[in-house]
Amino acid sequence: MSLYQPDLTTSRYSARLSSASDMARQHRENLWELFEAPTDGIVYIQGASVQHRYDTDTEISFRQESNFWYLTGVNEADYHAILELKNRRLHLFTPKRDTLYAVWNGRVKGLDEIQSLYAPDELHYDVDLGNVLAELSPQQIFVLDDRGKLSLTEALRSLPEEKSVKNYFGESVTDWVHVRTETTSLRDALTFCRLHKTEAELERMRFAGLVNSFAHNEVLKALQPDVYEYEMKAVLDAHLVRHGLLHPAYNGIFASGANSAILHYVENIRQMKDGELFLIDSGYEFEGYSSDITRTWPVNGRFSEDQRIVYSAVLEGQKAAILAAKAGVKMEDLHMMTTRVMMEGLLDAGFLKGSVEEIMEKNIFALFFPHGLGHFLGLDTHDPGGYPKGVERIDRPGIRYLRVRRELEEGMVITIEPGLYFIPALLRPAFENTDQKACLNVNRLEEMLSFGGVRIEDNLVILEGGNENLTSVAKEIEDIEALYRG
């Protein structure tokens, strides 16, 4: 196993990448390609604003809306954008900041600086949104959601009476009589674009994988009995932040003992005990692109017999899935294949009885593996596009929660994260179920009710004949035990 030791700071690494505005330009081209034979329609999209804690002036750390970042490369609050479909032009709208803004929030960028940073075809102040709309007088406006519609309505309301906007937008600007606003097409088109990562996106996801992997390995080195879960979070966060990754991609899970069987445990406040497992599921973004890594390690650095059995079953399943993941394979098939490998592990170890066929048929697997094998990853931790139009969830325990049901294609990025858990809320009722308990070694399983669970998660780029693994964190038992001591 090779452990990455990134010797690059984020700012030095960023300097080697194509700029975010070049990346966004490519994304706009990809989006324009999807709107064939365009009329004089436009795309309107609104950037994120700074949000506040309920009823206070305490700001929440700013994170650009994913689609806006994707299309513009602007990581500032209160911007808007219009994409002309026919002429393929980007209009960027920057907020007009006043002196007070400069006092509290820093220097206000001049238009020249904004122009050279983001290279729009036209740069306007946000107060001119209504004017530009009236001038373009589009017959069709593609927006993401009702928030977009509302923002357009407000912009048009602000226009003076003498503007001929009524000709285009009906008697009342809220009627949208003559202009079609539509929310489905743009969302579908963006989802389609974001499914296949561009080289510029992959570069960013590789770096996210590199730094996050490094930080996870540092957590393993710091792991020891009696520390609190949040101390492990502090170790991970410190290594990521000091390398310049400032934004968590999601609320991290730092779970010890029985907490490791709580799928979304995020309190992270318990003291870890000698002999328990520790499950870490956490990742930070790099330039908006997520990493999502899970590992499960023994708190004292040595796997007990039961821990080794359960861990090996998950690891075998995960490795089988990674070996099979390539273009043309269906995610739901990977899910079932992995499930089967893990059930064989539990059967061999005597936790289960009967045949694998019977265990699969009776949905016994769903008691131990109640979530999906993986999801798309990108600007969002659960990136969109898992279910193509017309494809429904599979109505069966366990696989019901699978977030991706489609054939994998080159350039998609997925997580592979099988797990086995001993969840009292699922197992106790099964012990009473005549049909299911025939497959369960109830005495053996009753001893496991406070064991917790194991999950192992890597991030893969799908290639034609295989995949590229972005994750490099200790997962073989001998590597874990060696790195722990190191």
Which positions touch Mn ion (CB under 5 A)?
292, 415
Choice between 218 and 292, CB closer to Mn ion:
292
- Least distance CB 281 / Mn ion (angstroms): 7
Choice between 204 and 403, CB closer to Mn ion:
403
Three-class SS state of 394:
coil
Start-to-end C-alpha separation, the chain: 14
Choice between 201 and 292, CB closer to Mn ion:
292
Question: Cα(154)–Cα(174) distance, rounded to whole angstroms?
Answer: 9
Choice between 67 and 415, CB closer to Mn ion:
415
- Least distance CB 414 / Mn ion (angstroms): 10
Choice between 237 and 292, CB closer to Mn ion:
292
Give the C-alpha distances (Å, rounded to integers) separating 211 from 5, 30, 239, 284.
Answer: 8, 29, 8, 9
Choice between 42 and 456, CB closer to Mn ion:
456
- Least distance CB 315 / Mn ion (angstroms): 17
C-alpha 413: how far from its chain's center? 10
8 A C-beta contact, residue 13 and residue 199: no
Question: Cα(468)–Cα(197) distance, rounded to whole angstroms?
Answer: 13
The conformation of residue 174, written as its DSSP 8-state character, comes to T
- Least distance CB 415 / Mn ion (angstroms): 4
Which residues contact residue 373 at a Cβ distance below 8 angstroms, ignoring those fewer than 6 apart? Answer: 321, 331, 334, 335, 338, 339, 402, 416, 417, 418
User: Which residue type, as a one-letter code, is found at position 35?
Assistant: F
Which residue's CB comes closest to Mn ion?
A: 292
- Least distance CB 467 / Mn ion (angstroms): 16
Choice between 292 and 380, CB closer to Mn ion:
292
- Least distance CB 394 / Mn ion (angstroms): 19
- Least distance CB 295 / Mn ion (angstroms): 12
User: Which residue type, as a one-letter code, is found at position 292?
Assistant: D
C-alpha 383: how far from its chain's center? 5
